[in-house]
Amino acid sequence: MSDSQKPKFTIPPPDKASKPEMLRALEFSMGSSFSTSPICPPPNPLIIVISGPSGVGKDAVIKKLRQVRESLHFVVTATSRPTREGEVDGKDYYFVSEEEFLSMVERNELLEYALLYGDYKGIPKRQIREFMAKGHDIVLRVDVQGAETLRKILGTSAVFIYLVAESELELVERLIDRKTETSEALLVRIATAREEVKHVRDFDYVVVNGEGKLDNAVKLVESIIDAEKAKVQQRRAVHSYCNCNDYPDVLQLLVLKFLLHFVKSETELHSQDVTNLPEILFLNLFHKSGRKDPFFQRNSLFGFCYLPLLTSSMPEPNLVFVALQLGARRYLAHGHVFRIEVAKFAICEKQPSGGGDGSV
């Protein structure tokens, strides 16, 4: 039977046919069945970093957010400070001794850590790795110093939210009401807060947590999360930085050897000296000028050492793309301590340039 002789299929009027009949007729006319798969794929897991000066109510916002957003995983920070009234170990913080904290640093268990007001605080990697693998959104509560470090580690793969009080006076009154600080400690926190407020433009969003307006602040944080999850071009939370312990120690030592080779080298290193890198090499160099890093004060994998700045045009002091292709080496005038944390790397070789073969 020719096409012209085939019976024509007519779609019935909607008011004359049932929904199943209409669907079958429409599918026949379209030449395919209607897909039941989601039009948009599930959104990517999101990392939300909540920060702000001391006294803005970070803990209060996190506590309320836990109640209204059960799908979020709130990473519990490890700290060496004493427990405050009402705080629960394992829920508000993991309260550990300074000795235990330094052991966690040695074992490379922390994504980020800092010494703040005389106490250590750090973010355990394991929680992030496990819950991101399950598709959970992750919330990190950090101080401003920690947020700066995380920005350099995570880049645009995370959302950075800055909490502020409505005024400086309101912030100071909250610090006084806590009754947990000495007069000297209060002065330090207030002076630090004044400096930290200057970093607000380094964040993606700012949320005002006014006195008696906690619900409004939490709703705004929720709106930010919803908006980020609805973006067409979504952030991709890269979690290779959480897998540092998966690499054999011998490879980490090879990276250190690679760096020290160029520290001792008498020749300048130019872009043509490193070619055909099979993989980008990431190193997080945590610059701890002004104090010795506890990572080096104990018997760690790398021991105690001072490393000079390797290039003259380093884009960021804390995150280096070590194609070491950025120009000639430059030494720091003073011996600053760097902690080396390997996230992802390849074994690279320096091409012969007059001297030895320079290979690793």
Residue 228: pLDDT band (50, 70, 90) is very high
Residues labelled catalytic: 84, 178, 189
Write out 83-94 in H/E/C secondary structure. Answer: CCCCCCECCCEE
Percent of the chain with pLDDT over 90: 17
Type of residue at 346 = A
pLDDT mean across residues, the chain? 68
The pLDDT score that the predictor gives to residue 8 is 60
**pLDDT for position 237:** 55
Distance from C-alpha of 26 to C-alpha of 48, rounded to nearest angstrom: 44
| Rounded Cα gap, residues 346 and 118, in angstroms | 37
Whole-number Å distance between alpha carbons of 23 and 14: 10
Torsion of CA 77, 150, 269, 345, to 10 degrees: 60
Closest residue by Cα to residue 220 from 352, 9, 50: 50
pLDDT band at 271 (very low <50, low <70, confident <90, very high): very low
The token pair at 319 is 């995150």
Return the higher-pLDDT residue of 123 and 313. 123
Tokens found for residue 308:
């000079």
The strand pairing partners of 162, in sequence order, are 51, 206
CA distance 180 to 175: 8
pTM of the entire predicted model: 0.58
Which DSSP category does 273 fall into?
Answer: G
CATH number (3.40.190.10, 3.40.50.2020, 3.40.50.620, 3.40.50.300) of 47-229 reads 3.40.50.300
Is the pLDDT at 107 greater than 60? The verdict is yes
Domain ranges of the chain: 47-229, 247-344
Higher pLDDT residue, 128 or 253? 128
